[in-house]
Amino acid sequence: MLEKNSKQPNSRSCFLCGRGNSIGLKMSWYNDEKTQKVWSELVVPEQFNSYPGVVHGGVVAAILDETSGRALLLGNDDQLMVTAHLELKYRHPTPTNQPITAVGWIIKGGKKRARVAGEIRLADGTVTAECRATILKPPAGFFESHGWQEEKPYWKVYDD
Residues 97-115 have pLDDT tens digits of 999 999 999 999 998 999 9
The pLDDT tens digits for 68-94 are 999 999 977 677 899 999 999 999 999
- What was the pLDDT predicted at 125? 97
Whether the Cβ atoms of residue 135 and residue 82 lie closer than 8 Å to each other: yes
Global pTM reads 0.93
Give me the domains of the chain, ranges plus CATH numbers: 34-149 (3.10.129.10)
Q: Which of 134, 51, 131 is nearest to 91 (CA)?
A: 131
CB 44 within 8 A of CB 100: yes
Instruction: Give the model confidence (pLDDT) of 5-45 as tens digits.
Output: 899 999 999 999 999 999 999 999 999 999 999 999 999 99
Tell me the per-residue pLDDT of 117-155, one tens digit each, with 9 for 90 and over. Answer: 999 999 999 999 999 999 999 888 887 777 778 888 888
Paired with 101 in beta bridges are 41, 121
CA atoms 137, 139, 141, 142: torsion sign: negative
Q: Is 25:44 a contact under the CB 8 Å cutoff? A: yes
Q: Is 47 helix (H, G, I), strand (E, B) or coil?
A: helix
- Cα of 43 vs its chain's centroid, Å: 14
